[in-house]
Structure 1
Amino acid sequence: MKHGRISYNGAVHQVTEDSGRVRLADGRLLQEGDFQWLPPVEVGTVFALGLNYADHARELAFKAPEVPLVFLKGPNTITGHNAKTRRPADATYMHYECELAVVIGKTGKNVAKADAMDIVAGYTVANDYAIRDYLENYYRPNLRVKNRDACTPLGPWLVDAADLPNPGALKLSTRVNGKTTQEGTTADMIFDIPTLIEYLSSFMTLNPGDVILTGTPEGLADVKPGDVIETEVENICCLVNTIVDDQTWFAPV
């Protein structure tokens, strides 16, 4: 089943997908445009993987990491489907990152790799934008790169883990204004989902609502204000987002 969250008539609603439409808990079906998409879960800690695809590491002329390269993101970074993301006027290269997002469903500490998938609630799609010229160094992506407001759209749907038995073999793709610019597969992740859960839970407790962004394959491209970006993961959903400039971002509502 696919689950989502929306803002409708001044309240937050849990919804499900019904033949491409949005169904409220009371059974009413809504049309796109009647509501605002929210991230499909109330996120807790967001873990983001750097260079978790070997082809992406080569693309950036970095050596692939020998242990997971993980950094944290604040809740201010997360926004929903069909939202806007700002490209600052001083940015010279801003790119998308299509990622499989793993949502934790049970509390876990010192979780063995063999048991790791038991604490996964489901999967959604993330687009973790980066401004490459803000990057300070390889090992510590700085706050301006990965913790800008609304720099990480998430959603629109969360697919139950039981409905996606093989998340390690999913196609990922990105389209900019309808043109495909990125293609890859989760089979090429350096550290798979069980490995990541075992690693993270070895030194900190994972809790329901925590999200692991598992990295992006090669195929980056600079995006500009006005570009419409579609990031899609096979059998999950397609996440749409629009880039805006400072004038639009800061305009009075």
Structure 2
Amino acid sequence: MMNTIPGLPTGTVYGALLNFRREYALWEPRMKEAPYRAPPQAPVLYIKTANTFTASGNAIALPPGVNEVEVAASLGLVAGEGGTVAGALLYNDVSIPHESFYRPPVRFRNVDGFLGVGSAVLPLGDLEALPTLVLELRVNGVLRQRTALADLVRDVATLWTDVAAFQSMRPGDVMMVGTDCLEDGSRPRVRAGDAVDITAPGFASLVNHFVTEAA
């Protein structure tokens, strides 16, 4: 059943792994190890399932036993008719801290509510306007990370083209371009009581606060 809340995805949400240069460089030495023994030749994707969608302004609950989670700003491309990009939206990709980026565990990424979704899709007529975009992530009003799309391994247009080479993007599907890491390879972490605000020029702010899941 499709979501009817404005802004929430109506199709499948995909995310790209290892698509920022800093994180790719940190992982590149391990790409030569078993079982792959070589860098990936195509985009490495994962799925955020529908149970994760949380509209901007709503709370995201930490499940029992989890004291903190990682948060990450991302830009999502919303598919239109005929495999085109209809627009873009800000996302807060939440996960329980984990090490694997080759096969991201579903139980760490797809917890209920673990994808903050911006409130309004920005129509796009030209993907070439996006390479200079910078996303800012603040926790409790303090700037914790700036994510520049100029640092993508595959820029927005290339990622969309490369994914379309092996799968169709149906109207309403979303392709998140990836999330950057901090200098040490980690991502900003938050606890219950914290608020996260993600902004980018031209986009409505994405705000979520974090709470402890009710018993």
TM range (shorter): 0.7 to 0.9
**Counterpart AA for 1:49:** A
- Could you tell me whether the CA contact under 8 Å between 1:183 and 1:218 is conserved in 2? no
1:158 aligns with 2:133: no
1:47 aligns with 2:47: no
The DSSP-based 3-state class of the residue aligned with 2:160 is: helix
Which residue does 2:62 correspond to in 1? 87
- Could you tell me whether the CA contact under 8 Å between 1:107 and 1:205 is conserved in 2? no
The DSSP-based 3-state class of the residue aligned with 1:156 is: coil
1:238 aligns with 2:201: no
Q: Which residue, out of 87, 95, 100, partners 1:122?
A: 87
Taking a change above 3 Å as real, the CA distance of residues 41 and 173 of structure 1, as seen in their structure-2 partners, is same
Taking a change above 3 Å as real, the CA distance of residues 227 and 93 of structure 1, as seen in their structure-2 partners, is closer
> What is the aligned residue count?
199
Taking a change above 3 Å as real, the CA distance of residues 93 and 228 of structure 1, as seen in their structure-2 partners, is closer
Larger-Rg structure:
1
The DSSP-based 3-state class of the residue aligned with 2:82 is: coil
- Could you tell me whether the CA contact under 8 Å between 1:39 and 1:154 is conserved in 2? no
Q: Given the two structures, how large is their TM-score scaled by the length of structure 1? A: 0.72
- Specify every segment of 5 or more residues in structure 2 that has no aligned partner in the other structure, as ranges: 32-38
Greater alpha carbon shift after TM alignment, 38-47 vs 167-176: 38-47
Could you list the structure 1 runs, at least 4 aligned residues long, displaced by more than 3 angstroms after superposition.
64-67
Which residue does 1:29 correspond to in 2? none
1:201 aligns with 2:164: yes
1:74 aligns with 2:39: no
- Specify every segment of 5 or more residues in structure 1 that has no aligned partner in the other structure, as ranges: 1-5, 7-11, 13-37, 109-118
**TM-fit CA distance, 1:169:** 1.2
- Could you tell me whether the CA contact under 8 Å between 2:43 and 2:163 is conserved in 1? no
1:100 aligns with 2:67: no
- Could you tell me whether the CA contact under 8 Å between 1:100 and 1:233 is conserved in 2? no
**TM-fit CA distance, 1:165:** 5.2
The DSSP-based 3-state class of the residue aligned with 1:71 is: strand
Aligned-partner Cα distance in 2 for 1:69–1:92: 29
Name the Cα RMSD after superposition.
2.2
- Could you tell me whether the CA contact under 8 Å between 1:41 and 1:209 is conserved in 2? no
Taking a change above 3 Å as real, the CA distance of residues 93 and 224 of structure 1, as seen in their structure-2 partners, is closer
Aligned-partner Cα distance in 1 for 2:80–2:59: 28
Greater alpha carbon shift after TM alignment, 121-130 vs 77-86: 77-86
Aligned-partner Cα distance in 2 for 1:96–1:201: 28
- Could you tell me whether the CA contact under 8 Å between 2:78 and 2:173 is conserved in 1? yes
The DSSP-based 3-state class of the residue aligned with 2:205 is: strand
> What is the aligned-residue identity percentage?
29
Greater alpha carbon shift after TM alignment, 214-223 vs 162-171: 162-171
Relative CO higher for 1 or 2, CA cutoff 8 Å, sep ≥ 6? 2
The Cα offsets for residues 8-60 of structure 1, whole Å up to 9 and x where unpaired, read as xxxx6xxxxxxxxxxxxxxxxxxxxxxxxx451542111111121122445xx
The Cα offsets for residues 192-247 of structure 1, whole Å up to 9 and x where unpaired, read as 12222222222222111010111122332220001000011222221000111123
Q: Which residue, out of 50, 59, 62, partners 2:27?
A: 62
Taking a change above 3 Å as real, the CA distance of residues 195 and 165 of structure 1, as seen in their structure-2 partners, is closer
Which residue does 1:27 correspond to in 2? none
